Amino acid sequence: MTKNSVIQIQNLSHSYGAKKIYENLNLSINRGSIYGVLGKNGVGKSTLINILMGYLQPKEGKCLIFGEDSHDLSPQNKERIALLHEGFVAYDYMSIEEVEKFFAPFYKKWDKRVFYELVDLMGLDYAQKLSTLSFGQKSQVVLGTLFAQNAELLILDDYSMGLDAGYRRLFIDYLKDYIAKNEKTVLITSHVMSDLVGLIDEIAIVQKGGSVYQSSLEHFIKEFKCYEVPLEASFDESKVHRVQTYKDKKHLFSFEKLEGFEELSCDFEEKFLGFVGRY
């Protein structure tokens, strides 16, 4: 494990029966970076987080966090991690203030200022019970408990579930500012590609069958191209990653320049879907 690595995955293989999830995955996440694990539902994003948190032990290979095996982390290193799991638990009978007071004793580095900073962005009364909040407001309170832990590593498993565009933007803006002021490492999964542009540094795109593409987000957006061609057009299939038929034309997705074809302007989400497939 390199000195700058917070997470290092070495030759990881995992499966559920005959269903292969990962095969010989190697991945390194450096201190201070924001790393996105992306992919369609069911490909193993949450499985990877469960392995990292020690809830699952991989069939083969190692996962190291702060230099320790993830399934045998010391209490000292567990304190350095804050986890948001998909489908979080919220205590609806508590008020916002009661939530803060309930969680504070569990974390040595708890920073109530950070908790209320995020709550204040929504203009909420601290005496309000969580049961009276919208789902988006409740999610922000839960995220406040995550940031207030002042952990070195934040693992956010699909933070965007159920959030509308306004609350997603509030969270992303706050996360950017929080990381800029504090040297934190973030591992994040999301289904909303537009949120990630300008936020994450490196990506791992997980596909069914265990293959994982790794790159910087900037490199992927720049180098993965989409071309539009007539249905009857011939092309070198060895240079094309994916072909999608659209009405009376085909869209070709490739990391190579395809001469003689029109390159389309595509955003990150369109390129992501061109890489993993729409359906």
What pLDDT score was predicted for residue 115? 95
What pLDDT score was predicted for residue 161? 65
What pLDDT score was predicted for residue 162? 65
Rounded to whole angstroms, how far apart are CA atoms 75 and 50? 17
Rounded to whole angstroms, how far apart are CA atoms 105 and 145? 12
CB 63 within 8 A of CB 70: yes
What pLDDT score was predicted for residue 73? 92
Residues contacting residue 277 through CB under 8 Å, at least 6 positions apart: 40, 242, 244
Rounded to whole angstroms, how far apart are CA atoms 155 and 261? 41
Dihedral angle computed from the Cα positions of residues 213, 218, 222 and 228, in that order, rounded to the nearest 10 degrees: 60
CATH code of the region 5-216: 3.40.50.300
For residue 206, what is the enclosing H or E element? strand 202-206
Tell me the domain boundaries of the chain: 5-216, 224-276
Q: Give residue 32's region: left, alpha or beta (phi > 0; psi -120 to 50).
A: left
Residues contacting residue 46 through CB under 8 Å, at least 6 positions apart: 86, 157, 158, 189
Q: In tens digits, what is the pLDDT along the chain, a chain of 279 residues?
A: 556 889 999 999 998 888 888 889 999 999 989 999 998 888 888 889 999 998 998 899 999 999 999 989 999 999 999 998 866 678 999 999 999 999 999 999 999 999 999 899 889 999 999 999 988 888 889 889 999 999 999 999 877 766 778 878 888 888 888 888 888 999 998 777 888 888 899 999 988 877 899 999 999 999 999 999 998 888 999 999 999 987 888 999 999 999 889 899 999 999 999 999 887
Q: What are phi and psi of 81, to 5 degrees?
A: -120, 135
What pLDDT score was predicted for residue 167? 79
Rounded to whole angstroms, how far apart are CA atoms 105 and 108? 7
Residue identified by tokens 């997470």 is: 7
